[in-house]
Structure 1
Amino acid sequence: MTQTIKLAIIVPCYNYGDYVGEAIASVASQLRDDCELIVIDDGSTDGSWSVISDAGVRAVRISNGGAIGACVAGLDLTTAPHVLFLDADDKLKPGALDAILSRLDPEVAKLQFALTRIDARGEWISGAVPALDDYREREALAVRVAKTGVYRSPPTSGNVFRRDVADLIREIDYERYVDGVLLYAAPFTGDVVSVSEELGCYRVHGRNVANTVHKSDAVGIRNNVERFIKRMEHLKVVARRLGWEGDLFDPHDVFVTRERKFYLEVVSGRRPSLSCLVPLLVRLTDERLEAKNKLGLAALFVLAAVLPNGRATVLINYRLKITGRSATGFLREVATSNPRARAP
């Protein structure tokens, strides 16, 4: 008797020939009869297709159209009710599929799990950022998203979506990111299961999307704000379509938007006004952070508003670092930064 397929793992790849073999192997080595794996080569020009072909797994090659197009192609070629989009530079840890499958059922709209951070060579950088709690929630999380627009969630490779949620990427025409609106729409349509265990690895290197915006690049931050607002507007449409009748956030007034706009003021060489700082501090109180973390962020915002622009920019850059942040490091940056340095 044929085993019912429960999970599809879709690996979109564009010019990640250095990593895609490891990503494929991490899945193939633990593949179960109730899982399907497909690799979508998005018109790579670096030899990725040769690596993929040698792996001996189901794979197709399409014309380059971006990550969303590659993931849509993967959705069209799979049938499982739940889907994991595994970035070609990331990987799953041994036993991850068993842990994921044991927690899936038809009511799970999204399952998220923590990811260990590794470098280009696969060496450990840090534990999960963000760290996740163990829970299964729906209504409480939907209420939180309705108020703030977001909740704590890992990068793309740490998420499994029910197919109806994954299909929302077909509506995205404002960004090239796959997870985006999917993360926050999930609690409006089903349960979100969060797993604190680090079941995969997220690779930090010079070519992945997370590193493509320079910390002090005003244009990059402005584009980030505009993209986030469009994502939130899309989310509001989806939430209403899914039957949410309560109040919904103002995309311009949530913490993430106000935080990025504050950074934009600093890196553009301006001193943030009270009308920029005060609403940001108010929105910070809505965030689900430990008191010490809220105090630390509040201190950073206040200091960045009153210090000379050069030092303020250094602080913002430190805040936007992917790894290696600490209270000691923060104080060191304040003490040693050049007050005459300005954002480019």
Structure 2
Amino acid sequence: MVTGSDAPSAAPLVSEQSGAASHPKLAIVITCFNYEAYVERAIASVLMQGRGDWELVVIDDGSTDGSWAAITRTGAKAFRIENGGQRAACLFGFDQTSAPFVLFLDADDELKPGALATIMASLDPDVAKLQFPLTRIDGAGAIISGAVPPLDDFRTRADLATRVLRTGVYTTPPTSGNVFRRDLCEVLREATYDKAVDGIILFAAPFLGDVVSLSEELGLYRIHGRNDSGLGRPADPISLNRDIQRFVERLEHLRSFLVRFGLASQLVAANDSFFFLERHFALDIASGRRPRLRGLPHLIRCLWLEYFPTRTKAVVTVFFIIAALLPNARAQRLMAYRFNVGRRSARDLLRALVGRDA
């Protein structure tokens, strides 16, 4: 069922935002599930951008709180659909737009003033994806820390394609820090295994066009304990198992996508990738098991194939060795330190290493 008000027979709400262009350059799709507390701020952050060459559509993905009332108060073009998860809601919103580029903005995130001007100045038909870091804030809007993740300014295609083939990943922001060309979004229709939207299209992008990376933080990423990514919560067996399963399925989807380019055989196997092995290492610790030492050399070899600075690789190597040897309670504290999304200090690290076991 698709409605535009609480009445089942009502037509979709199509109160266009003022100043929207008849031929928009960028579409912003906001999807919301039970984010009544945040969604108006997300919408306002778009409406206040001060330009008219964009289009906005908001999708209420079957919320059971007051999200729909909050959305309709803004006057933005909006649809209310039955709950189907982020990917389905994003695709529904995508189909209501026509712009050549799309930004899927989470309902608990926001754009900073002037963000759209900066973004659109860097878009052209050869760009498959543009990315920018986000500033971390808490539920009340206070800044937790800076860039998620820190990014350099660059524009490339071949380098990132090689990196994806070799490791399966590259450094990329959460959903709200990405803009995708319209044809790339079509690949989402094949991802029936995934409820999230920031999966296959992130890593397919460099095979369809240039990836533009901006170092300026253009949005706000809210950490409040309900983030679907799990950021802001300690690593636990359920979320780690989910991460591993998603990664395996996304990599297999990417392999089938790469058949059209004759590159499928060059894509790394999941169990030879650092992401897969690191998550399994963390899963052992989170599950109360000591990581198997015989698997440690393979994990470290894969770490050194990654595109991290040498100093980072050395530090993380030592981290893995220490975590593998510590009693489980301390190893869990060490992993919590590694996955902590806020500011981390030497004191926090020392507490994880020598603190008393609970």
TM-score (norm 2): 0.90
Query: Using the alignment, how far apart are the partners of 1:137 and 1:328 within structure 2?
Result: 39
Structure 1 residues 53 and 234 mapped into 2: Cα distance closer, same or farther (>3 Å)? same
Query: Using the alignment, how far apart are the partners of 2:260 and 2:239 within structure 1?
Result: 32
Query: Using the alignment, how far apart are the partners of 1:289 and 1:337 within structure 2?
Result: 33
Displacement after TM superposition at 1:292 (Å): 2.5
2:313 aligned partner, one-letter code: K
Partner in structure 1 of residue 6 of structure 2: none
Query: Using the alignment, how far apart are the partners of 1:73 and 1:3 within structure 2?
Result: 20
Displacement after TM superposition at 1:205 (Å): 0.3
Q: Answer yes or no: is 1:307 the counterpart of 2:326.
A: yes
Q: Answer yes or no: is 1:179 the counterpart of 2:198.
A: yes
Partner in structure 2 of residue 290 of structure 1: 309
Deviations 1:230-253 (A, max 9, x none): 111111111223453671111111
Q: Answer yes or no: is 1:217 the counterpart of 2:233.
A: no
Partner in structure 2 of residue 206 of structure 1: 225
Partner in structure 2 of residue 334 of structure 1: 353
Query: Using the alignment, how far apart are the partners of 1:177 and 1:233 within structure 2?
Result: 16
Q: Answer yes or no: is 1:21 the counterpart of 2:40.
A: yes
Structure 1 residues 293 and 138 mapped into 2: Cα distance closer, same or farther (>3 Å)? same
**Which secondary structure state, in structure 2, belongs to the residue aligned with residue 9 of structure 1?**
strand
Displacement after TM superposition at 1:222 (Å): 1.9
Q: Answer yes or no: is 1:275 the counterpart of 2:294.
A: yes
Deviations 1:175-222 (A, max 9, x none): 221111111110011000000000000000021213389635223322
**Which secondary structure state, in structure 2, belongs to the residue aligned with residue 210 of structure 1?**
coil
1:165 aligned partner, one-letter code: L
Partner in structure 2 of residue 95 of structure 1: 114
**Which secondary structure state, in structure 2, belongs to the residue aligned with residue 196 of structure 1?**
coil
**Which secondary structure state, in structure 1, belongs to the residue aligned with residue 58 of structure 2?**
strand
The answer as to whether partners of 2:230 and 2:239 remain within 8 angstroms in 1 is no
Query: Using the alignment, how far apart are the partners of 2:143 and 2:258 within structure 1?
Result: 38
Displacement after TM superposition at 1:159 (Å): 0.1
The answer as to whether partners of 1:15 and 1:44 remain within 8 angstroms in 2 is yes
Unaligned runs of 5+ in 2: 1-20
Partner in structure 1 of residue 260 of structure 2: 241
2:352 aligned partner, one-letter code: E
Deviations 1:127-161 (A, max 9, x none): 01210010000011101100001110000000000
Deviations 1:66-102 (A, max 9, x none): 1111101111110111000000000000000000000
Q: Identity over the aligned pairs, expressed in percent?
A: 52
The answer as to whether partners of 1:188 and 1:244 remain within 8 angstroms in 2 is no
Displacement after TM superposition at 1:317 (Å): 1.8
Structure 1 residues 82 and 186 mapped into 2: Cα distance closer, same or farther (>3 Å)? same
Partner in structure 2 of residue 104 of structure 1: 123
Structure 1 residues 283 and 328 mapped into 2: Cα distance closer, same or farther (>3 Å)? farther
Query: Using the alignment, how far apart are the partners of 2:331 and 2:32 within structure 1?
Result: 38
TM-score (norm 1): 0.94
Structure 1 residues 246 and 270 mapped into 2: Cα distance closer, same or farther (>3 Å)? closer
Unaligned runs of 5+ in 1: none
1:292 aligned partner, one-letter code: R
Displacement after TM superposition at 1:168 (Å): 1.6
2:325 aligned partner, one-letter code: V
Deviations 1:17-36 (A, max 9, x none): 10000000000111533211
Find 1:258's aligned residue among 277, 287, 310: 277
Structure 1 residues 235 and 213 mapped into 2: Cα distance closer, same or farther (>3 Å)? farther
**Which secondary structure state, in structure 2, belongs to the residue aligned with residue 151 of structure 1?**
coil
Tell me the C-alpha RMSD between the 2 structures.
1.7
Aligned residues: 338
Query: Using the alignment, how far apart are the partners of 1:81 and 1:242 within structure 2?
Result: 23
